[in-house]
A and B are shown apart, each in its own frame.
Chain A
Amino acid sequence: MKNENPFDDLEIDPRLSGRELTKRIRKIIEKAPADERAEIQANWEKLTLREDQRIHHALLAHPRPESASAREVSTLRTNVPLPTSKLQNTAVSLTRADVIVWDEAAVSVQHLIPRYDQGK
């Protein structure tokens, strides 16, 4: 199966409604270099001309909620609010999530954290 799903190509959430989709793709086109716009336009048409096609492609696209944003990690990192809590509230067992919050402290505690968090 060729990976030519428009949702995957455009890196957008397949669960967006038709209206949200149009809004999002318009933004993508605005930011895209001129030579990429035609391809984006083609994908837009694939998703908006026929409702059954939009749904078909959405079902064949990887779920991509906001929490699975395709932005660069460095951008995602800058989006994280600065920690406001105090270290004494730290959970006894640290997870990767804790490290993200205490990004500054990450380097020193990294070795304490299981590589693959097995808890839920």
Chain B
Amino acid sequence: MSRMKWWSPAHQALLNALDAQDVVPGLFLLLTGGALQANEKDTRRLRDWPEALHDSASWPILAAALTSGTRDHEVWNQAQAQGFTDRAAHHNALLLLELSDRLTQGRRFDESLRCVRWATTNWAQLYESGYLAALTKDLDPQLPEDATAEIVSGLLCPALEERRQRVIEELRKSSADMDAAAITHSQDWFDVWRSFTPAAQRAAARIRQTVAAYDQSVSQLVAQQMTKAVSDLDLTTAQDLEIEAPLRQTWRQIEALRFPAPAMAEMIGTLISTLWSLRRVGRDTTPAFNTLVDLGILLAPHLGRTIKSGESIGQNSRLGDLYVFRAERERGEARREYLVLALDFCPGHRNASMLMSYLHLHDVQVGMQDLAKTIRPASIKATLKAVHGHLKLAEAAFPLNEDLAGHTERFQKACLKNKIDPRSFDEK
């Protein structure tokens, strides 16, 4: 714009105020997809923003968008690609983080995530350009280097900490009151920070630590609540619903948190020990027992994924136990499928191996029954060969199976009767 010789700071202040009145409301609508309107205080607070944007390469894109009144968020992506001055990025970074929060409170989660992503882009610019460090030096030229670095690197941690507190508060609520969608959204919000890797190593490390502290604290809380609720139960006398309730609540929390590995480990641990306790007191045929197994089965694919990825360690046998508990409710192939899963995660799992061995012996039994109806020598030999295969599998699965000997003996007698050397099946 033209700068006339009689232009004064008062002119500029008025110009900025008027520009803010024009620009800020439109940009709020653009940034929030129309979800938030700027209030009078916002417009006053952001009087420096339009001028800072005006000096940015992205301004023509934003100006055109403001003229057209579009709320297409792609416009901001295009503007971002053109670039902002550091001063504009400072406004953007602060405002977008705040808008993300306001949008969360209004349950506009998609828009909130978009804003926090844009915020991190601007924060990354401020770290990378050295703007924050330089501004800190301007604010206090006497400040030692290390103190400057400490302030700058930890700048965003309080915002993350505040969000953590809100998730904790939500998790402390009863099952009926807990806002699972809000928790999931916050988990997504933290995921944005998980991928925030500013060039400033120290800042990146502080964010990583804060996110890790969040992960740890939410999992710990879930585990503590569950452990306390379950330990308060007397499993010999508790009603089914009382037994189910804490683990149902834990499941809802873990689902809302998008299945964090430490919380899942705690849940499967408590679940399995509760199931064993119920079995010991003879309550393993109650609805509560089955409900807990079913809850575990809901958890299993997520836990299984983290076991396979190496994120969960030492949970294999618990998952094996769970699949065996579930397999016990089934017969035939359905049972085999659960046992295969148990042995996949926990090769050599004793109970899974034993049940699998019995399944193979069942196949032996069926084969022997078929034999009684078989007349053709070739068919007899083929049936015996199949029986031999099942016996070998039963033995391999669980060599200590006490029923193996009897089945082997019957098989050998059948071979003898049909003049077939059983060792001939071993040769191939």
Instruction: Establish whether residues B52 and A63, one from each chain, have CB atoms under 8 Å apart when the complex forms.
Output: yes
Chain A nearest CB from B101 CB (Å) reads 5
Counting chain A residues whose Cβ lies within 8 A of the other chain, the interface size class is 35 or more
Q: How far is the CA of A83 from the CA of B7 in the complex (A)?
A: 10
Most buried by A among B6, B20, B95: B6
Q: Is A41's CB within 8 Å of the partner chain B?
A: no
Instruction: Establish whether residues B87 and A63, one from each chain, have CB atoms under 8 Å apart when the complex forms.
Output: yes
Is chain B's interface secondary structure helix, strand, loop, or mixed overall? Answer: helix
Per-residue interface assignment for chain A, residues 36 to 80, with 1 indicating a CB less than 8 Å from any chain B CB and 0 otherwise: 000000000000000110111011111111111111010011011
Q: How far is the CA of A39 from the CA of B186 in the complex (A)?
A: 31
Q: How far is the CA of A2 from the CA of B67 in the complex (A)?
A: 31
Q: Which residues of A contact B343 (CB under 8 A)?
A: none
Q: How far is the CA of A81 from the CA of B162 in the complex (A)?
A: 46
Instruction: Establish whether residues A58 and B1, one from each chain, have CB atoms under 8 Å apart when the complex forms.
Output: no
Q: Is A84's CB within 8 Å of the partner chain B?
A: yes
Taking a contact as CB atoms closer than 8 A, the residue among A62, A68, A118 that contacts B59 in the complex is A118
Taking a contact as CB atoms closer than 8 A, the residue among B44, B60, B98, B147 that contacts A118 in the complex is B60
Q: Which residues of B contact A76 (CB under 8 A)?
A: 10, 13-14, 17
Q: Which residues of A contact B12 (CB under 8 A)?
A: 67
Q: Is B232's CB within 8 Å of the partner chain A?
A: no
Counting chain B residues whose Cβ lies within 8 A of the other chain, the interface size class is 35 or more
Within 8 A of A (CB), among B20-63: 20-23, 44-49, 51-52, 54-55, 59-60, 63
Q: Which residues of A contact B254 (CB under 8 A)?
A: none
- Residues of B in contact with A (beta carbons under 8 Å apart): 1-4, 6-23, 44-49, 51-52, 54-55, 59-60, 63-64, 66-67, 87, 90-91, 94-95, 97-98, 100-101, 132, 135-136, 138-140, 143, 147, 150-152, 155, 159, 162
Known: A60-B94, A116-B22. 16 other contacts (CB 8 A): A2-B162, A11-B45, A52-B147, A52-B150, A58-B135, A59-B132, A62-B48, A68-B51, A69-B17, A79-B13, A81-B10, A91-B2, A96-B18, A116-B23, A117-B54, A118-B63
